[in-house]
Structures are given as structure tokens and as C-alpha cells.
Amino acid sequence: MIVLKLTDTFDVDVFNYSVWALASSYVWAITDSVPLAIVAYIINEVVVLKLADITAPAIQDAYGLDGVSIPHGNAIIFAPVGMAVNWVIEKIPALAKIDWSTDKIEERFGGLISPSMIGFVMGIVLGIAGGQNVGQTLLLGVTIAAFMIVFPRVENVLVEGITPVADGMREICAKKFNRELNIGLDAAILIGMPDVMATGILVTPVVLLLAFILPGNRVLPMADLAIAAPFLISCCMPFCKKNIFRGFIAGVIVMIITLYVCTATAGWYTQCAAMNGLPFESISTTLGIGSSWVAWAIGQVFALFA
């Protein structure tokens, strides 16, 4: 695709390749055909790389990540949700005026309402909801608040370390292919951004509520609940103008889609695990990986050949 100029993304994060492979795993389980599984892998890869190309300018502008794109197979596929939510809100003047950006919040309320304070409050709420005692609840609140302070700083160090590497790779690619390419990185590079983390923390308890009230949902989020929301909404935030209000709405929609996709693909997911010698005691899935609506759609199409 790079040689034929069908993509401007050179994905150096090989872990992402395993995310693309989810579609091929489904198709292999459904059809028992390796050639069809390979075709499914390629289709998933093409879709993700094109989405990475389309979203790269907005992500670069929002977070100062020059020359970077995010071909993460689960996060980037939800960027269209952020685009759609932002488009709708811009058409509604009353909602368009709501600005919950982290800078605006801190400017208006100072330290009273900040990402760390949001983390502390949500920690207290989660502790109470989880039946923890006073000491454990306070500890959870302080831990999440500290995470909100430390993680962005760690993220800044990571970005500073990645920048020269990405620049070097871009120079090499420019010489090899005679054009500028974006270096594809994992969505983890966005998780520590204050707007992403704050929005993800706000969405997380809603996911549990959705799990119980959505008709037809059969997924109870557990192991990856804490990190799933920030990951899956990370690529929505640049299109929501890093506005926590808009991001929250987009995040709720993303998690509704996620729960339904995970419900629809849990059987395939469990079958793939069994094929690899990992039989679960019950039908199982994961929000972070099993949420790929692209893999679900590819599986549905190839199921016709089963």
C-alpha cells in the first residue's frame, strides 16, 4: 500500500498487527479456511490504515504529534463516532456553547474542578458502589487522582522520547519512498492526555449501568473495564475538540456499540480461544479487543461462505 501510494501510514507498532488479526481469527473459526482468513486480515488492515490516514491531521493538530498517525485496530475505528457527535452538537446552539475542555474548566474553577479532582470523585463513587470501607474508598479516590496527575507527565516523557524516533523513521521513509509518511503508533500514546483520561473515567461507571439496562446485552464488563473506555474513545477526542462534554456523549455511544458488538462476537471469540488451547469456562470476550465492529462486519460477510 505504501509503494502504491494507497496509504501514508507506516505502522511500526507490530502489536497492532495482532488486533487486525482478530477478523482473520473469526473467519478461520467460522469457515475453517486459512485463505479466507488471510483475505479477512488484509481487509481489516486496509480499513484501519485508511482511517489512520484520514484522522492523522486532526490527531496531530490536537496533541502536537507531528508525523504520527494511530492505526490502532480498536481505537481508530470509533473516530467516526466522534466526528458524528461533534457534527450534531455543532448544529444545536445550546449544546455547542458547552465547553468542558480541561483548560476551560481549570481556568473557571481553578483546582476545584480539574482532572485530578474528577479522578478523586470518581474513585470515591466507585469505592462506594463496590462496597468498600471508608479507608479503601479514600485510597481508591487518592490513587485515581494521583494517576490523573502522574500519567500525563509520563505521557509527555514518552512523547518526547518517541518524537526523535518518529522523525528518524520519517526521514528514512522519505528517502526510500520519496514522500512524507506518518509513523503509526499505538493509541496508548493518547491515553495520558488529560481530556482523554478525564472523559474515560467519567464514562467507565456508565458502562456498568449500560451493561445492565441495554436490551439484548449479554456482556458483563470486568477485567479490562478500567482501561477500555479511555482506549476506545481516545481517537474521538480530537474531533470532539477535546471537549469532555462532547467526548462523554461520544464515549457513551462508543460503549453501547462495544457492548453489542462484544455480545454478537463472544461466541466467535471463545471459539478462537479454544482453537488456541485456551478454553474458557463460559462464553467470554473482552471490551478492548472484542469491540471491533470492523472484525464483526467482516465475520458476518464471510459467514456466508461457512
- 69-110 residue pLDDT tens: 999 888 999 999 999 999 999 999 999 888 877 766 665 655
Give the gyration radius of the chain's Cα atoms.
20
Helix (H) or strand (E) holding 10: strand 9-11
- Nearest-angstrom CA–CA distance, 113 and 73: 33
CB-hemisphere CA count at 13 Å for 153?
6
Q: In 169-224, which ranges are E strands? A: 182-184
**pTM of the prediction?**
0.83
- In this structure, the dihedral spanned by the alpha carbons of residues 216, 220, 224 and 225, taken in order and rounded to 10 degrees, is 90
Q: Is residue 111's pLDDT more than 80?
A: no
Query: Are 29 and 74 a contacting pair, CB within 8 Å?
Result: no
Per-residue pLDDT at 104: 66
Q: Is the dihedral of CA 53, 58, 59, 60 positive or negative?
A: positive
What number of other Cβ atoms are within 10 A of residue 38's Cβ? 13
Coil, strand, or helix at residue 101?
strand
- Nearest-angstrom CA–CA distance, 263 and 247: 24
What percent of the chain is modeled with pLDDT above 90?
A: 41
What number of other Cβ atoms are within 10 A of residue 214's Cβ? 15
Grid coordinates of 105: 474548566
CA 182 to mean position of chain CA atoms? 19
Alpha-carbon separation of residue 284 from 32, 215, 270 (angstroms): 21, 19, 6
Q: Is residue 119's pLDDT more than 80?
A: no
- Nearest-angstrom CA–CA distance, 36 and 297: 14
- Nearest-angstrom CA–CA distance, 209 and 276: 33
Report the amino acid identity of residue 81. V
Which among 4-13, 123-132, 156-165 has the top mean pLDDT?
Answer: 4-13
Instruction: List CB contacts of 172: < 8 A, sequence separation 6 or more.
Output: none
Higher pLDDT, 6 or 147: 6
